[in-house]
Structure 1
Amino acid sequence: AITYDPACDPQYKDISPQHTMCIVGDVGTEVVLDQAAKDAIVQKHNDLREGVNPVAGDMTKMVWDDNIAVVAAKWARQCTQGHDLERNVPSLPGIHVGQNAAYGYGSFDSAIQGWYDEVQFYVYGVGSTTGYWKDVAHYTQVVNAKSQRIGCGLADCPSGSKFYYCNYAIGQYGIKFPYLNATQSCSECPNQCDASGKLCVTCPPTSDEWTCGPNNSWPQPYCTIYSNVKYSCPYMCGICPHDCGDKMCYNGGTMNYQTCQCTCKDLYTGDTCETLDCPTGDPSYCGKEQPYGYPQSFCDMYSNVPTECPHMCGVC
């Protein structure tokens, strides 16, 4: 049985006493992922995200996140089929972290392909053709446009099977519309499209890499000479229009890089969307079964429900 250390690291315990990083001990042995393995996992996801059908206008390019990965690796070492109770990370406050799991595959490449292959049971805008949303939820997580950061873990377990886990930020809430259908890729980010012409490059929260600039390794003329430079130096090369310093938008807020202002999701206010502003109660339809309202089970299925029913869903 899984037990939790009451004296675990406060940064995780403050999120939840049942956080994965508070689990006592391990069952399996971690298979350490080197940089090549991490790059291959990210590339596999981005290759699959490029090819979605119908076309996505807002599909973002994924990047690796070590803070997410360490949690995925800890859960993989528990050799338990199913999802952990709490995997959010302190480095991304207010951000829901999703998860995909696989067992017994020979490689991460085949595990990720297995998740994607659930597309055979999926219709965009409808959901699962089997009538069971879990039959396609791995696929929709792989191609969720808002999932920009990924971290994975792998363990050898006593059963002889390998346990694969990938965690995603932002994690998915619903399966019908994992991305915005459009007639052309990158239509929602025309000036921030990657070299493939199909994935949106998100602006970093602070500034360009230290190698960018006239007195460093990559001066501005390199933007048009070398294809990789504009993605490492998006501000210098004009892909990202403004450097907003170290400002970030929390709790699902979005940054306007022209003005450095945050647009906050419902329930949150403040310059960086840091303040939770709860209503006195939920609307009457919260907690009612369909077709009369939203049952509590919808909290983890549809992204609008936690906002409309914050007390029922434990947000407030």
Structure 2
Amino acid sequence: QNEKLILDLHNEIRRSVIPTARNMLKMVSYELQFTSTPGVTCGENVLLSSYPRTWGDAIQVWYSQSSNFKYGYGAISKNVNVESYTQLIWYNSYKVGCGVSYCPTGPYKYFYVCQYCPAGNNPMQIAMPYRSGPKCADCPGHCDKGLCTNPCKYQDLLGNCKNLKMLFGCSHSLVKKQCPASCKCTTQII
């Protein structure tokens, strides 16, 4: 029941971004991992609370950062956090897994955590966590109520894979090894 609520809330937030997103992936459930998986990096939102909250409350705290964010600009003033919000709406983070831990000895007794894979919040594009445009414009034929349903199952390990692919091609050993998403996902959202 919590899993469905968490998914529904995330996808509703992603559907309602302004401006609308042409490449926003629909989130699916993911089992929260407390160990690292080789080759896969996940982002994380954390809420520490001195009292129990609902998942709706936790997600709302992260979403509330949207008032400090402007698409194309980023944080609207210094010393405000927007990273929890931008992770919520990062276009290619399509797997979400959440959990809560109770730690009775500290001031914050409840730790709410959601992991997002692949990770968002690339500092080079934090002001534009998705491509703006008509909903699903980048995924024709793979759209569910304004969210794309064709994620790439691979992850590039370098930030310049698009250029490397153009320069050297996918048969080059470095490109093949470090840029599997750019090489294997030609019609999916990377």
Q: Report the equivalent of 2:111.
A: 163
Cα contact 1:267–1:276 (8 A) shared by 2: no
Q: Report the equivalent of 2:62.
A: 115
Cα contact 2:118–2:155 (8 A) shared by 1: no
Cα contact 1:60–1:146 (8 A) shared by 2: yes
- 2:156 is the alignment partner of 1:251: yes
Cα contact 2:157–2:178 (8 A) shared by 1: no
- 2:147 is the alignment partner of 1:202: no
Question: How far is 1:274 from its partner?
Answer: 4.9
Matched AA of 1:251: D
**Cα deviation digits, residues 152-188 of structure 1 (max 9, x gap):** 1210111362100111111121320101111x21111
- 2:130 is the alignment partner of 1:179: yes
Distance 1:39 1:200 in 2: 18
Matched AA of 1:119: S
Question: How far is 1:65 from its partner?
Answer: 1.5
Distance 2:171 2:41 in 1: 20
TM-score by length of 2: 0.76
Q: Where does the alignment leave 5 or more consecutive residues of structure 1 unmatched?
A: 1-35, 72-86, 206-247, 254-263, 278-316
**Cα deviation digits, residues 267-306 of structure 1 (max 9, x gap):** 68559965249xxxxxxxxxxxxxxxxxxxxxxxxxxxxx
Q: Where does the alignment leave 5 or more consecutive residues of structure 2 unmatched?
A: 180-190
Q: Report the equivalent of 1:208.
A: none
Question: How far is 1:266 from its partner?
Answer: 5.3
Give the number of aligned pairs: 165
The structure that is strand-richer by fraction is 2
CA gap of 1:156–1:136, structure 2 versus 1, over 3 A, is same
Q: Report the equivalent of 2:187.
A: none
- 2:142 is the alignment partner of 1:192: yes
Distance 1:201 1:162 in 2: 33
Q: CA RMSD in A?
A: 2.6
Question: How far is 1:150 from its partner?
Answer: 1.2
Question: How far is 1:250 from its partner?
Answer: 4.3
Runs of 4+ in structure 1 off by over 2 angstroms are 248-253, 264-274
**1:206-285 alignment, distance < 5 Å:** 249-251=154-156, 265=162, 269-270=170-171, 274-276=176-178
TM-score by length of 1: 0.47
Distance 1:150 1:185 in 2: 21
Q: Report the equivalent of 2:97.
A: 151
- 2:26 is the alignment partner of 1:61: yes
Q: What is the SS of the residue equivalent to 1:70?
A: coil
Question: How far is 1:40 from its partner?
Answer: 1.5
Q: What is the SS of the residue equivalent to 1:135?
A: coil
The percentage of counterpart residues that share the same residue type is 30
Matched AA of 1:131: K
The structure that is helix-richer by fraction is 2
Distance 1:126 1:143 in 2: 15
- 2:79 is the alignment partner of 1:129: no
CA gap of 1:191–1:164, structure 2 versus 1, over 3 A, is same
Matched AA of 2:113: Y
Matched AA of 1:164: Y
Matched AA of 1:38: E
CA gap of 1:164–1:190, structure 2 versus 1, over 3 A, is same
